[in-house]
């Protein structure tokens, strides 16, 4: 009965006649399960006030979404299958990019928007050929075929008016320089953030700002680089004055990477970057009310627990003071003496004697490693990897943060929306329903 009622509700929503928004912005907080938005609320709380202040996630929450992949892959999705579901409305196997389980390409909402004459923007903090952007832009049997995916952006026709993120490694290669090929086609290429402000709007804009993914938010020259790129992209798309409007995909990619590494420091840094992006878009929608913004996650990562070990507390105070990523701190400690002064400068608070001993022992006997983390630097020394894990252990203990996994989990994820037609996304839905609703709005 519940399944029948859910189907009827979805059908009534899809069949209802809506005035289509001119602009649609789809945002994916990669790995951002419900514990992340809860943790962010307490992370951003002002402890000097009696109330716990709401965040942009609190005021824009409208529903929840299931995330399971095609039956062949069980109940736990990866980012490729998740992106394909959100982009096409089809379930697929883990690792698949824009194809069905029998490996047939299926149209994405981005491709449909392009056919309908809309301008297209994609802004991510990963490499631009990573699973989520690729899931909207192309089709491939494996997300790991990074060079093939990058090649397809050029060989199968350039689809974006703005494409910003990382990826020099895949676009500037010994066998092929895709950047030069695109420049020959009249596409404006930039490789520094400061060039964003002066980029002409009369030609497509392609920006790569890192070898693979961007630096962690806490380490980048602008800690709100997703917000910076989003502002530049919306400006570019608006000033193009396309009467058909635009479709834009934005991804807070590295929330997921923090989850994989059980790294609450960087998870909150990435959440803050995404939150600032949403706050900017709230103002953008006030100025452009014919815009719809939909935000969700493709899955949750790490099994984040806001309070652990049977203790009824979560204490994010130290997270508010840390100015560097765990990775940055570990690299510094490899070459510096570990003592009260050096660590105070790096952590921005005083470590205890026991915490100092843990770091010293990790450096002396690096039996720990970060091999469980999919996004660990495989070139990092055993000493750095051991220090990195100990740093995260110290912060997790200080904050009483728990993790159950270094991978993805199957929990439902939140859905947020604001702007025109946000009510279409109220309540519970599947990730494929989000794509189906966007397809419907594109055709109105």
Which residues are known to be catalytic? 79
Residue 104 has which token pair? 């047939």
Residue 139 has which token pair? 């089709």
Residue 362: in which H helix or E strand, if any? helix 353-364
Would you mind telling me the total number of residues written for the chain in this entry?
444
Q: Is 311 left (phi over 0), alpha (psi -120 to 50) or beta?
A: beta
Residue 382 has which token pair? 């055993």
| CA distance linking residue 299 with residue 272, whole number of Å | 19
Task: Identify the CA nearest to 136 among candidates 118, 120, 117.
Answer: 120
Please state, in angstroms and as integers, the Cα–Cα distance from residue 107 to each residue in 86, 98, 111, 133, 394, following that order. Answer: 12, 7, 6, 14, 46
| CA distance linking residue 225 with residue 223, whole number of Å | 6
Q: Are 317 and 47 in contact (CB under 8 A)?
A: yes
SS3 state at 327:
helix
Terminal CA-CA length for the chain: 31
The residues facing 120 across adjacent strands are 247
């Amino acid at each position: 009965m519940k399944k029948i009622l859910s189907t009827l509700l979805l059908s009534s929503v899809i069949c209802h006649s809506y005035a289509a928004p001119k602009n649609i912005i789809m945002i994916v907080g990669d790995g951002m399960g419900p514990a992340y938005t809860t943790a962010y609320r307490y992370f951003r709380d002002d402890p000097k006030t009696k109330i716990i202040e709401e965040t942009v996630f609190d005021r824009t929450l409208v529903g929840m979404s299931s995330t399971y992949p095609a039956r062949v892959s069980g109940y736990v999705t990866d980012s490729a299958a998740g992106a394909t579901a959100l982009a096409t409305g089809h379930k697929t196997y883990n690792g698949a990019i824009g194809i069905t389980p029998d490996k047939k390409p299926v149209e994405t909402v981005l491709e449909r928007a392009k056919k309908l004459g809309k301008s297209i923007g994609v802004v991510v903090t990963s490499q631009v050929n990573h699973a989520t952007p690729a899931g909207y832009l192309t089709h491939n049997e494996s997300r790991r075929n990074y060079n093939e995916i990058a090649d397809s952006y050029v060989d199968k026709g350039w689809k974006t008016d703005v494409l910003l993120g990382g990826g020099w490694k895949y676009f500037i290669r010994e066998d092929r320089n895709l950047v030069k090929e695109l420049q020959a086609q009249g596409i404006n290429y930039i490789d520094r953030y400061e060039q964003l402000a002066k980029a002409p709007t009369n030609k497509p804009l392609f920006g790569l700002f890192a070898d693979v993914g961007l630096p962690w938010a806490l380490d980048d020259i602008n800690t709100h680089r997703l917000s910076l790129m989003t502002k530049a992209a919306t400006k570019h798309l608006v000033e193009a004055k396309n009467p058909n409007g635009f479709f834009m995909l934005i991804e807070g990619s590295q929330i997921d990477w923090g989850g994989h590494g059980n790294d609450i420091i960087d998870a909150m840094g990435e959440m803050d970057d995404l939150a600032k992006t949403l706050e900017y878009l709230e103002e953008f929608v006030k100025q452009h009310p014919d815009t719809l913004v939909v935000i969700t996650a493709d899955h949750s990562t790490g099994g984040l627990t806001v309070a652990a070990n049977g203790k009824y507390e979560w204490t994010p105070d130290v997270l508010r003071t840390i100015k560097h990523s765990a990775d940055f701190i570990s690299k510094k400690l490899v070459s510096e003496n570990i003592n009260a002064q050096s660590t105070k400068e790096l952590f921005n608070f005083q470590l205890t004697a026991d915490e100092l001993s843990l770091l010293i022992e990790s450096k002396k006997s690096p039996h720990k490693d970060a091999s469980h983390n999919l996004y660990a630097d495989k070139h990092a020394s055993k000493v750095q990897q051991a220090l990195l894990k100990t740093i995260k252990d110290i912060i997790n203990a200080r904050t009483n943060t728990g993790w159950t996994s270094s991978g993805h989990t199957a929990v439902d994820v939140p859905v947020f929306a604001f702007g025109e037609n946000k009510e279409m996304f109220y309540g519970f839905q599947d990730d494929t329903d989000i794509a189906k609703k966007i397809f419907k709005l594109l055709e109105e």
